[in-house]
Amino acid sequence: MRFNRPLVGGAAAVLLLLIVAGIALTRSGGPSTARADVMAAGLYNPPHSAPDFMLRGSNGSDVTLSRFRGKIVLLTFGFTSCAAVCPTNLATLAQTRKALGKTADRVQVVFVTVDPDRDGVAQLRDYVSAFDPTFVGATGTPEELAAARGKYGVTATKEGRGEDYAFAHTSSIFLIDPAGKLRAMMPFGHEAKDFVHDINLVLAS
């Protein structure tokens, strides 16, 4: 779980953080510590059907996991005013898609907000598209979002008062396979190469 203070400066600050995160990830490259036949993420054993939900998407359509059947879904929760953790996660996933080349078409990133009061459809669209135009943001009522979080054991605790509030929230990323099975959960801090490694293993299985 990470504590995330609000991001100041809007889209420009998001892009700056994206650049900085990209530089950091590039410098930390090198061989993955994961074995070739073992996933870097923590596995669900056995895999089970990923709990579905229906939320409003930043692309103008309803977001359900079943809609992306046939693709690997990388599901993450956060908020657009997040200072560091959320932009780092999304920057890593953008690098992952870039590194995958043509295989990237078989991967869908879904970013579910924990902050429905500030993260409407338009705000989410501008935010996620700054990282990758294929990313989909999702929002809904507080009750709908709480239900979606509960299905994945995700916590989101509001911290602070007034306009400067933030959230302490689960920062792991869930990997759902093309058949809709919840296969793994990647803790915060892993590099793009670990996601590429795991995605290739799942697609080859």
Per-residue pLDDT of the chain (205 residues; tens, 9 = 90+): 343 433 334 444 444 444 334 433 333 333 344 467 888 999 998 999 999 999 999 999 999 999 999 999 999 999 999 999 999 999 999 999 999 999 999 999 999 999 999 999 999 999 999 999 999 999 999 999 999 999 999 999 999 988 889 999 999 999 999 999 999 999 999 999 999 999 999 999 8
Residue among 45, 43, 42, 122 at smallest CA distance from 80: 122
| pTM, full prediction | 0.83
Contact 24, 115 (CB under 8 A): no
Q: What's the rounded Cα separation, in Å, for the pair 55 and 53? A: 7
CA angle (141, 57, 5) in 5-degree steps: 65
Distance in angstroms between the alpha carbons of the first and the last residue of the chain: 31
Cα separation, 112 vs 64, in Å, equals 11
* pLDDT tens readout for residues 11-23: 444 444 443 344 3
